Structure 1
């Protein structure tokens, strides 16, 4: 019954949006042309007026000033819009249902239920203008790999995905399903990343990479939303995090660390992780270390408000609400300081805690807490691409990159909240219906 409901929901979501008015009719000689009224060049941090974007297949082949004389006959007319690259969410969880008060929720559906919900979540995310997501973990091992592969094969619509395969976590740590009644059996597929020492970390990392993970996510400290863990306390030690980094490096892959507490952040930075997720309790030393090492900060600074409102209304555990209160404003203060001293910033929201498709609700928070509107957009485009070495393919509207772009009707640099309602999306040269 649940699967039938999910499939029906997907069909309704797709049908409700209707066909794109100019769906790939704007082609001439195998090329697609887009007339951009205003084009945000995120690499230079400037806005160009009246531009023509030329697309061949999935990729951009030219960007040049628009001239009406000699223009192709069928053009995607975005002359009344501001055009910018498709956005990147650097901290997403597409698989399964969103966060709830029930610790049993991850176990109640089947693997197929998780993937079916992931299909719905992926479409919502894509239609919201996020054409790439870094999916930083799901409880069921490789369910994210399966969804990514379905999207890549064209079986279902969705953003480009980089996936972690599963969380690498200590037994009973922030990446485990815990808080359950005694005697509840947790299937092995929920514990594929559990490791008790450096050798087991290497084994778990190798297993995940061999199974199709694009990068590795280690849970370096406790978590706000995992009952019984302390966000400020380290869970893996530096040697164990370094073991993950070294094993991933054998395949040219990176490690990102879930880390709220300052000591956990410092250990992760010294161990060589690519990015820190959350960073809620980062102190000055931790932030200065991140700047020195070039470590990226991916801070979900919208999430605390959502958790407070919805968690209170739905009766989420008292411990969760207390930890959320203890980390929300400290995270924002750390973010402001990180911006001020020049730490690398990438946009990431923890979507899956809040409803998918609302990813851009964090954008005004980025501005409120230190970034300029242009920098906030860069954090969700070119900076986000650089944070995971994806900038050869995505992150800007540049010749050679995938033709991933969005159109908005208002001045986004005057009010970044307009990104909460994008007017049109192109992914891989095709309008998203």
Structure 2
């Protein structure tokens, strides 16, 4: 890729600046504000592909139009160890064929046709692309003040560049748990931007004073029909009463939500509501579930406490987000009803979302204690458990995305953790039913599945530490049958 000298150091630019000050004609690219704009955009949304051999990652003859490499037709990946997203062991002696964005065959090496196009994987581990089941595409790379106050266009610009970095960390799919990610998803799907597949929830639906009511105190009460800044931006929407909930759910489905996100209990970052507080009545929850069911999909709810989880399950909710304050009775109910428990490793450690208010810090500690108990209960009752990070308003933690998965080896064997972030999360995504945005299985390597793959330099039977350094250890990143990174020897 070509490199360019910094705009503000060009002698020609200095001459054009002088012309501009004296009212003489000058190219608009020499406007005095350009270096400032360049610095701001570079700082907020810089992106450089990982170093790779010539002809390896993104390819383009235009520095502003990077493109992934298309795979050869019916390409076969061979000389590998296979983790298929389902089996809790690495398989040897197999090869994987990819064609037109799908896995078309998993075959013994001895059956590779003599005239096949083969890529040598150097005995590294081939696995499905990672899936983060609780992600905020528009809210992960900005601090809370920016998210609450910025021009929404700024959030989208920053998110588009963070999406590229997310993909290059090995996350080929995310379930967006709240925020206006519809345009970002469309841009990625159309090939205008690079990033993971997105399962969007749209705006987080909250009651007045609920976890996603981000209004300032001076904005209460509000006039009928008046929307707050975050509502206009599509980050959240406030609904009180079953009729309003029904309308807001239908609006998000109309915009393209693959599932619906409601706030059914208090949160750590919100200041108005207690962590154990219940939000949304039975009737309001049933209205949301009914509307989602009518569109062939499901409702996921943010909630921590046992009473809130039980209320949501009785209303028909299919995915509990967080839930770290669940008790034995609640865990048995989740197992019996086949509800998913979407857990995050909230351990109040170096990867915890930054909290400044003492009340939020206290709630964060309470959740951290509950996290250890939650994983124990999930394992004891064999609850369908999903994994996600919920990195929120803390951009400094994004480079450690993979570490938040590898630390789960504290609770599970490494391959079981890897299965949770691939095959298990892929099954959760299938619950979108008629709202499924992508045709084909994700998180597994078997015929018919979508070709989202990673080739990793690591020993996942022993440790997942290799995920903590994706630049070094992710050798091959394939999404939809296209190569976004290739660091294999030429």
TM-score by length of 2: 0.79
Q: What is the 5 A alignment of 1:227-306?
A: 227-302=271-346, 304-306=348-350
Which range is displaced more, 51-60 or 390-399? 390-399
Aligned to 2:268: 224
Aligned to 1:45: 88
Gap change, CA 1:306 and 1:228, over 3 Å in 2: farther
Residues 302 and 362 in structure 1, CA contact (< 8 A), matched pair in contact too: no
Gap change, CA 1:52 and 1:307, over 3 Å in 2: closer
Residues 93 and 350 in structure 1, CA contact (< 8 A), matched pair in contact too: yes
Residues 301 and 319 in structure 2, CA contact (< 8 A), matched pair in contact too: yes
Aligned to 1:175: 212
Gap change, CA 1:25 and 1:97, over 3 Å in 2: closer
* 2:110 is aligned with 1:92: no
Larger Rg: 2
Residues 414 and 464 in structure 2, CA contact (< 8 A), matched pair in contact too: yes
What do the CA deviations read for 1:99-141 (whole angstroms, capped 9, x no partner)? 64x5x43233212111111112211111111111000002xxx
Which range is displaced more, 155-164 or 13-22? 13-22
Aligned to 1:432: 484
Tell me, in whole angstroms, the C-alpha distance in 2 between the residues paired with 1:304 and 1:367: 17
Aligned to 2:378: 338
Query: Residue 14 of structure 1: which of 23, 30, 48 is its match?
Result: 48
Shift of 1:168: 0.9
Aligned CA RMSD, in angstroms, stands at: 2.7
Gap change, CA 1:389 and 1:36, over 3 Å in 2: farther
Aligned to 1:389: 430
Residues 404 and 427 in structure 1, CA contact (< 8 A), matched pair in contact too: yes
Shift of 1:357: 4.4
Query: Residue 136 of structure 1: which of 177, 190, 202 is its match?
Result: 177
Gap change, CA 1:65 and 1:352, over 3 Å in 2: farther
* 2:195 is aligned with 1:158: yes
Tell me, in whole angstroms, the C-alpha distance in 2 between the residues paired with 1:119 and 1:132: 15
Gap change, CA 1:277 and 1:49, over 3 Å in 2: same
Residues 81 and 124 in structure 2, CA contact (< 8 A), matched pair in contact too: yes
Tell me, in whole angstroms, the C-alpha distance in 2 between the residues paired with 1:271 and 1:309: 30
Tell me, in whole angstroms, the C-alpha distance in 2 between the residues paired with 1:69 and 1:107: 55
SS at match of 1:411: coil
* 2:107 is aligned with 1:64: yes
Tell me, in whole angstroms, the C-alpha distance in 2 between the residues paired with 1:39 and 1:212: 35
Tell me, in whole angstroms, the C-alpha distance in 2 between the residues paired with 1:274 and 1:267: 12
Residues 45 and 158 in structure 2, CA contact (< 8 A), matched pair in contact too: no
Shift of 1:216: 0.2
Aligned to 2:446: 398
Tell me, in whole angstroms, the C-alpha distance in 2 between the residues paired with 1:226 and 1:20: 48
SS at match of 1:320: helix
Tell me, in whole angstroms, the C-alpha distance in 2 between the residues paired with 1:256 and 1:356: 24
Shift of 1:427: 0.5
SS at match of 1:423: strand
Shift of 1:204: 0.6
Gap change, CA 1:307 and 1:75, over 3 Å in 2: closer
Tell me, in whole angstroms, the C-alpha distance in 2 between the residues paired with 1:206 and 1:257: 16
Residues 342 and 385 in structure 2, CA contact (< 8 A), matched pair in contact too: yes
Gap change, CA 1:328 and 1:27, over 3 Å in 2: closer
Gap change, CA 1:388 and 1:69, over 3 Å in 2: closer
SS at match of 1:43: coil
